[in-house]
Amino acid sequence: MAKKINITKKALIPGLIKPSRMSKGKLKPEDVVRATLSSFPDEVVDTISVEEEEKEEEELARMKESKARKEDVALKEMNVPIVREAQEQAIAKALEKRDQLCEISCALVVLASTFSVSRERE
């Protein structure tokens, strides 16, 4: 993965690399950074390396977090149809039970009516 490196004129050591050569495309930013870092004392370069590693670790952590969020969203999107289907099935069962109860209720009314008519005849 290529990183964009921003180099300002202040970051260049005077006389080491001329900004005009860099702006004309004769030097790559990576070469400028290498040349500049090689002129620094070892302690400074070590500090810069550690900071760069920390930045890379932070970027990696952000990428992992972003991926995890996307996976969570994808999982939720997959679960929505399943939940919706389960809700529809539950509603269908409830309606079926209601219809059965209505039929039983009608049958009981007919039975009660028949029973009362047969009692009157006796």
Indicate if 46 and 27 belong to the same structural domain: no
- CA–CA gap between residue 1 and residue 91 (Å, rounded): 52
**How many domains does the chain divide into?**
2
Query: What does the alpha-carbon distance between residue 15 and residue 19 come to, in Å, rounded to a whole number?
Result: 10
1 and 61 fall within a common domain: no
Q: If you average pLDDT over every residue of the chain, what do you get? A: 76
- Report the C-alpha gap between 66 and 112 in whole angstroms: 68
For residue 23, the model assigns a pLDDT of 54
User: Are residues 33 and 51 both part of a single domain?
Assistant: no
Q: What is the pLDDT of residue 96?
A: 94
Task: Show the tokens assigned to 50.
Answer: 């550690």
* pLDDT tens, position by position, 69-106: 888 888 888 888 888 899 999 999 999 999 999 999 98
Q: What's the CA gap between 15 and 60, in Å, rounded?
A: 37
Both 35 and 70 in one domain: the answer is no
For residues 32 and 85, membership in a common domain is answered with: no
Both 82 and 109 in one domain: the answer is yes
Closest by CA to 11, choosing from 42, 46, 43, 48, is: 48
Residue 81 has, within 13 A of its CA and on its CB side, a CA count of: 4
Whether pTM > 0.75 for this model: the answer is no
Both 50 and 10 in one domain: the answer is no
Q: Does one domain contain both 58 and 70?
A: yes
Q: Are residues 107 and 65 in the same domain?
A: yes
Are 16 and 70 members of one domain? no
Question: Any residues with CB less than 8 A from the CB of 30 and at least 6 apart, and which?
Answer: 5
User: pLDDT-based confidence at 19, cuts 50/70/90?
Assistant: low
Note down the domain range covering 15: 1-39
Q: Given this model, what pLDDT does residue 31 score?
A: 72
Local confidence band at 49 (pLDDT 50, 70, 90 cut-offs): low
